[in-house]
Structure 1
Amino acid sequence: MSLLTTTHVCPTEISIILNNRIRRWLQNPRKILGPYIKEGMDVLEVGCGPGFFTLDMARMVGENGQVVAVDLQEGMLAKVREKIRRIGTGLNIVLHKCDEDRIGVSGNFDFVFLFYMVHEVVDKEAFFRELESLLKKDGQIYIAEPPLHVSKKAFEETVMIAGKAGFTVVDRPKRFPDKIIVLKKA
């Protein structure tokens, strides 16, 4: 069974809707991530898409930190690569194309960012087990899911699966209309 299903993944062709000024106003990366990401952190972003959050996270971790941006689609990674090229050097970002059945990176991360992508994961148990092996002891995972794609029941099932993989709830930030949870290792 695959970890991700390519039939439910946002296609690269419509990624333009993921990068716009209205979204930046509604989902400001610095406001969302400010309480969690600090200078020098190692951050894993799974499902980076066209990099809406990626560059802001890289600026937040600074030159002593690193962002590993992962996506299933080479087209999405190409869009992030182009953004990085346009702004020049100075951001410590590593791009990684994952497989359908695993993330496939190594390292110990302080923070894992999963924005609007967990509902696309087929084998959530395997996914969270892999994340558990990548997260530092005091690290955190931020999960946000969209209101139209994910019911409250489905979201709570995801939280339960994460709990079985060794995570516990730290916070449930409120940001209408999203479903959000912050987890840490139990």
Structure 2
Amino acid sequence: MAGIVDALANMAVTGLGALLGWNITLRAQNHLQPSPFPWQFADLLEHPWRVQALDPGQTLDLYGLAAGMTVLDLGCGSGLFTRTAAHMVGESGYVHAVDLQAAMLARAKRSLEEAGVLDRVALHHCGAYDLPLEDDEMDLAILVSTFGEIPDKLAALNELRRVLKPGARLGVTDELYNPAFTLPGTVRRLAEEAGFRLLAKANLAIGYHQVYINAK
């Protein structure tokens, strides 16, 4: 029995070490060349531990999402927050989900179909610098663990200001275990440089939330 316990313990340590090494490698790569979270690890985005620690409904409530809004989910990934946003905006609202990775969008589409809300979501395979949206169209834009993955962050923020209505909100959340984690002070500095004004913030055990208003 002792031998089995020791073997299991060694396996756990080995697995933890491999995960830690993978995370460190991704962090280093993202520091040098920001890039999206790999679609091959999309299951991690839907892990119950993550969903519990970063509850989508609570997060979107903090951002000020309400029924009837038009919402942009930039870097939607597997669609975790897109699905919740689609439920919350209701039949009179609409969600635009954007991601650079076609495989992520395909997964998001499947999950939206299963949730019965695909009819109120548009999926866009594109980046953050040239969004296929009209000026002053969005009531809210959200970036959940996405900001650090964008190489030219100021260009993305300027594009978000373009599509957001005057007085509309921008919600930014990041998680400490995200390989592209960005310090909250960096986000605030760049957001204010782009013309956003900080409206609210909250710290989490695993990261932080920030809510900005489009001051144009």
Q: TM-score, normalised by structure 1?
A: 0.88
> How far has the Cα of 1:25 moved from its partner?
1.5
Q: 136, 157, 164: which is aligned to 2:165?
A: 136
- Structure 1 residues 113-136: Cα deviation after superposition (integer angstroms, max 9, x where no partner): 100010111111111110010111
Match of 2:91 in 1: 63
- Structure 1 residues 134-185: Cα deviation after superposition (integer angstroms, max 9, x where no partner): 1111210010122244353xx3122111111111100112322313211112
CA contact (8 A) 1:47 1:117 kept: yes
Cα distance in structure 2, aligned partners of 1:50 and 1:65:
21
Task: Output aligned runs, 1:120-131, within 5 Å.
Answer: 120-131=149-160
Match of 1:77 in 2: 105
1:177 to 2:177 alignment: no
Match of 2:18 in 1: none
Give the letter for the 2:42 counterpart: S
Match of 1:160 in 2: 189
Unpaired segments ≥5 residues, structure 1: none
Unpaired segments ≥5 residues, structure 2: 1-31
Distance 1:75 1:174, change over 3 A: same
Match of 1:115 in 2: 144
| CA RMSD across the alignment | 2.0
Sequence identity percentage: 28
Match of 2:17 in 1: none
Instruction: Name the SS of the counterpart of 2:168 in structure 1.
Output: strand
CA contact (8 A) 1:166 1:185 kept: yes
Q: 125, 132, 136: which is aligned to 1:105?
A: 132
Cα distance in structure 1, aligned partners of 2:112 and 2:214:
32
Bigger drift between 76-85 and 59-68 goes to: 76-85
